[in-house]
């Protein structure tokens, strides 16, 4: 099952492109990465990059990838595609591919991603991926997209947005703890309320993003071109794309 996330962002297309294509900006809002660095490449060639994710305070998982983008298309949209792989034995994600689509509209820019990957560790890895890792990746992607939206629309930096999220989570936990301590009969109702209560407008939330594609479509042609120029080990089938 491939992953699909879509956010509607009211911003200038060039600003959205810069915040997502420049490594220094990208690593600030994307919860999935701790560091992203471009590697030297020749002009006209796909951009190779190195990424790292801190899983635990003492464990960082790294990998490499290659990306290519179409900044100007006849229909006014933009597309970016990438393929990636991690040789780290503790990385459940072995290799994968994905795309970003930038689709301007009257209601804002529809910023869309679709990606898929191959887990390692055999049957155990596939089970862990289906039950835990893939849902977590989907949530982290959607939460990060909304954090990016807040940065562009409201000027709330990713660092501030993170603290907003922590503060709101603590506040909700304290409400449940107070109910358990002082009004035990209302504890379950309070916990349910804290789960369904919408987050504050300044707090990132994965629930604000679309998680199911409106309809299936073919993957972008740029990804096919990128696949022909990369090693077979990174040629993972891609999720179908929103047109």
**What DSSP string runs through 4-69?**
EEEEEE-S-HHHHHHHHHSHHHHHHH-TT-SEEEEPP--TTSPEEEEEEEEEETTEEEEEEEEEEE
Question: Are residue 147 and residue 163 in the same domain, yes or no?
Answer: no
Instruction: Name the percent of the chain lying above pLDDT 90.
Output: 71
CA–CA distance, 180 with 177 (Å, rounded to integer): 5
Furthest-apart CA atoms within the chain: distance in Å = 67
- The domain total for the chain is 2
Q: Do 130 and 48 sit in the same domain of this protein?
A: yes
Residues in the chain: 243
Q: Does this model's pTM top 0.85? A: yes
CATH number at residue 105: 3.30.530.20
**Residue 42 pLDDT grade (very low, low, confident, very high; cuts 50, 70, 90):** confident
- C-beta contacts of 45-51 below 8 A and 24+ residues apart: 46/226, 46/229, 46/230, 49/23, 51/84
Is the pLDDT higher at 71 or at 164?
Answer: 164
* pLDDT tens column, 178-189: 999 999 999 999
> What are the phi and psi torsion angles at 159 (to 5°)?
-65, -45
Q: What is the pLDDT of residue 234?
A: 44
Q: Which two tokens stand for residue 230?
A: 């990369």
- For 172, the domain range is 157-201
Tokens representing 235?
């040629």
Instruction: Kindly state whether residue 72 falls inside one of the protein's structural domains.
Output: yes
Decide if 240 is inside a domain: no
Q: What are the beta bridge partners of residue 61?
A: 53
Q: What is the pLDDT of residues 100-128, one digit of tens each?
A: 999 999 889 999 999 999 999 999 999 99
């Amino acid at each position: 099952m491939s992953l699909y996330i879509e956010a509607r962002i009211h911003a200038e297309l060039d600003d959205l492109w810069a915040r997502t294509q420049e490594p220094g900006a990208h690593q600030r809002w994307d919860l999935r990465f701790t560091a992203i660095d471009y590697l030297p490449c020749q002009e006209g060639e796909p951009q190779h990059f190195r990424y790292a994710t801190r899983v635990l305070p003492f464990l960082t998982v790294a990998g490499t990838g290659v990306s290519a983008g179409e900044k100007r298309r006849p229909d006014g949209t933009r597309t970016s595609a990438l393929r990636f792989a991690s040789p780290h034995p503790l990385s459940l994600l072995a290799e994968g591919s994905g795309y970003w689509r930038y689709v301007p509209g009257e209601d804002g820019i529809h910023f869309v991603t679709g990606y898929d990957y191959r887990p390692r560790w055999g049957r155990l890895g596939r089970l862990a991926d289906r039950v835990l890792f893939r849902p977590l990746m989907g949530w982290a992607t959607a939460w990060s997209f909304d954090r990016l939206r807040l940065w562009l629309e409201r000027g709330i930096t990713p660092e501030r947005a993170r603290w907003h999220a922590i503060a709101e989570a603590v506040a909700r936990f304290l409400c449940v703890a107070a109910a358990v301590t002082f009004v035990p009969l209302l504890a379950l109702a309070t916990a349910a309320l804290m789960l369904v209560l919408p987050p504050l407008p300044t707090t990132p939330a994965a629930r604000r993003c679309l998680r199911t594609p409106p309809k299936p479509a073919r993957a972008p042609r740029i990804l096919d071109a990128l696949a022909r120029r990369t090693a077979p080990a990174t040629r993972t089938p891609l999720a179908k794309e929103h047109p």
